[in-house]
Every structure is written in structure tokens, then in C-alpha cells.
Amino acid sequence: MASESSIHFEISERKVLLRLMDLVMVFLGIYLISEYTDFDYLNFNVTNTVPLIVLAVYITIFGTVFEMYDLQKSSRLDVSFRNIVICMSTVVLFYLLTPFLTPFLPEQRMQIIYFYLILVLSVFTWRLGYNTFIESPRFFKKVLLVGEMSQIGPIVKTMNDADPNYQFIGFINSETARTDSISYKGMKEYKVQDLHQIVREEKLSEILIASTNSELITPDLYHELMVLLEQGFKIREFTQVYEEVTNKVPIQYVGKDFYKYFPFSRNNENQLYRFFHRTFDILISCVGLLFGLIILPLVLLGNLIGNRGPLFYHQERIGRNSTLFTIYKLRTMIRDAEQGTAQWAQKNDARVTPFGKFLRRSRLDEIPQFYNVLKGEMSMIGPRPERPFFVAELAQSIPFYETRHIVKPGLTGWAQVNSRYGSSVEDSMTKLQYDLYYIKHRSLFLDLNIMLKTLSTVLYYRGQ
């Protein structure tokens, strides 16, 4: 049964494929141009092992920073080409500036242009093939959804937004049909007795169970699913797939069995991980504060012209284990912006000054928080600290909200690099889903990923 499924690349597999084939195509391009032309800046041979490794590292790092492995952006050729050009321009610049690891500048400067062009063209040629074949319908994941009628629409929208290659061919209502029940017209509804025929004819990849209450699944449907499972067909539970596809914890679908969804990362108590995490915090915060001192004259001048008032401001925030601490930032709003009443910050907030807008977009307003990191009240990476007023309000509206306080708040975090600025309860719930995902899966690799994505946010001027 399982062997009849259609071919499909999971999200993680597509990301690995993009990274791997980028390097393969670059090395192939360098080999071909050095073999059949007089290009000799970087030859593909054993003596150039270190320079080739350095090139691969640069492409991997800057490819992440410039979002070459973002699947949504990679599926659009215009955006993909722009990111490739920016990435390879940066790669070549850094490659030329590290001659102790890379070849010395060639006598014929045109070879640098050839080197740059071969990087861009080889990667873009592969991306053209990726969009033509891998992103084509033949590689879509065909899925049958099983769940309550009321949940079908939101689930389909969530999964399609996260991964367009995740294609629902229809659904089966897991509840006993009633005359007064609602219906969903967005896709085809199948009967339980057609289940085996659907699997064969549609070449399904998997069946997704999205029932909020397994007791509601009819006996006939339960029996058919068990038969398919025993034949080796893939049947998965929705919340597990949701977390894999969206990188969020689906708190809106978590009920009384919440303990199944929060087996928090062992790294939360891993002393070695925590040691490296704290060491990293101290080193980066020292560098950050030094950078802040260097640019302080320019910030003072900008504040004098565009802010006209105090340079700093401070607020009480909720830290680890719900303890209060004082956070420091460069002031970006007019004085007395809230007039004694806490208010949500909005996109294009009228209270933000012209210079404050620059500070927010560039994330320079966060520099004083390196002091909080150095003191141990914050970490470089973690959920953003929230004000006590909003915590009290959100904890009443959003389940598990205060769970985010089991780790130190961060200067940046998984929610910050994956979601927009929170200006409502709905936005806060989305951010909480990302925060809980980080707490559940935190690791050195995820921390590095967040730092690289934060660089993308700064370089693309996406701060709020």
C-alpha cells in the first residue's frame, strides 16, 4: 500500500535539496569554466580544498541570511533571482577579503567577474529546474483529511498557507452525520466506504487525522483506518504535522491532554547547553555594547534632530519565572506617548518619531538591552519580554500564555524572525505558538538559525 504513494519532498527535504544542489552546481560550474577556459582563479582540485570549503561555508551562511532557502520565496523566480544576486555579491566580497583562506587576487581582474557570474548563473540554473520540476504538481503531497466538519476549513487554509505543495484531495467527516450539521463546500467530501478506493486511485501520500475528539470517530471509519495502518499506509495526527510544517505549537487545538504537546527540550536543563548559551550571551552583549558606544555620537545627533527629548526610556517587563525587571531601550516614540494608559503598538504607529522609525527598522533601539543580557535578566535568544499589563490581559485570553516565562526572555527569538509585530490578541497567540516551539525544540542549531534570520531582518530593514 505504501509503495503506491506519489513522490513528494517534505519541507525539510526540500530545504536540504536546495542547499546541497546549490553547492553541487557551483562546484560543477567552477570545474567546467576552469577545465574549458583559461579561468584559473579557483581550480577544482585537491590543492584548493580549503578555498572550496570556505566558499561552501560562505554560500551556506549568506544563503540563509539572504533567504535563499525560504521555500515561499524560492518558489518565485523573480524573488529567487534577486536573493541569489545579493547573496553571491556578498559571498564574492567576503571571499576576496579573506586571502589567508582563499586564493590571492588574480592578475587579470576580469577573472573576478567570471567567478561572480559563474556563481550566480550556476545557482539560478538549478533554481530554474527546481521551480520547473520539484515545485510542479507531480511532486505535490496528496492528502486525505479526516476530521469534524467545523474544523475542515481552518485546517485546510492553515496547511495551504504553510506549504502550497501540501494538497488536500478531499475529506471524510469523522462525526456521525446529522440533518442539522453544517457542510464544507471547499473540496470534495468522500464516504467511509470509499476510503480504500481513494487511496489507490488518487495515490495518496498520507491520511491526516484532525479530530479534536477521537471518541467521535465512527466505528466504521476507525476499522477502515486500522486496516490501512496494518497494511503500512501512513496515517498521521494533525497537531504533529502542523508543528512540522509551520514550526509552531498548535495551542488552539490543544485540550485537556496538553501534556502530550509540551515535552520541553532537554536543553532547558542541559548544563552544557546552558553554559555555552550564557557564554554566547556575554560575548555578544559585550560586542553589542561596544558597538553602541561607537555609534553613540551619531545616535545623539539623530535624537537631537529627530526625537527632541530623552535618549533612553525604561519599562518594567516580565522575565523568567514571571519575575519583574527593568528593560532599557532607545526612545522611539514621542514623550508621554501613552498618557498613563498602556496601549498596543501598531504598525505605522503615529506616536513613533521620524528618527524613532529608523531606530526600530534598523533594530538599533534594542542596543541598550545588551545591558540586560549582560546582567542575566535576558538572553540573546528567547521570547520577547512583555509588559505586566499585557501579560495579565493575554493570560486570560490565551491558553498556556505564561508558559513562555519558563526561559529567559530574549533580545530576538523564533517569533520575532517568523511573525509580524504583535498588535492584537490574535497576533500574540501566533507569537506564543512560535515561542513555545522554541522552548520545546531549543538547541544550538536552532539558536544559530535564529541569529542568521535576525541578520536577514536587520539587512532587509524589517524592524517595527
pLDDT at 436 over 80: yes
pTM of the model: 0.82
CATH number for domain 140-246, candidates 1.10.540.10, 3.40.50.11060, 3.40.50.300, 3.30.420.40: 3.40.50.11060
Mean pLDDT across the chain, nearest whole number? 86
pLDDT tens, position by position, 410-430: 999 999 888 876 667 888 888
Cα distance between residue 436 and residue 407, in whole Å:
10
Whole-number pLDDT of residue 86? 93
pLDDT tier, 218 (very low <50, low <70, confident <90, very high otherwise): confident
What one-character DSSP code corresponds to residue 169? E
pLDDT of residue 221 exceeding 70: yes
Positions of CATH 3.40.50.11060 in the chain: 140-246
Secondary structure of residue 312 in the 3-state scheme: strand
Query: DSSP secondary structure string, 320-367?
Result: GGG-EEEEEEE--B-TTSSTTS-----TT-TTB-HHHHHHHHHTGGGT
Lowest mean pLDDT: which of 47-51, 77-81, 104-108? Answer: 104-108
Task: Assess contact for 15 and 74: CB atoms under 8 A.
Answer: no
Nearest to 317 by CA among 308, 307, 327, 309: 327
Burial class, 41, CB count within 10 angstroms (exposed 0-12 / middle 13-18 / buried 19+): buried
Burial of 33: CB neighbours in 10 Å, binned 0-12, 13-18, 19+ = buried
Give the cell for residue 129.
Answer: 529546474
CB atoms within 10 A of CB 77: 14
Place of cell 491558553: 399
The answer to whether 54 and 71 are in contact (CB under 8 A) is no
Give me the pLDDT at residue 6, please: 58
In this predicted model, what pLDDT tens digit does every residue of 8-54 receive, in sequence order? Answer: 777 888 889 999 999 999 999 999 998 888 888 888 888 889 999 99
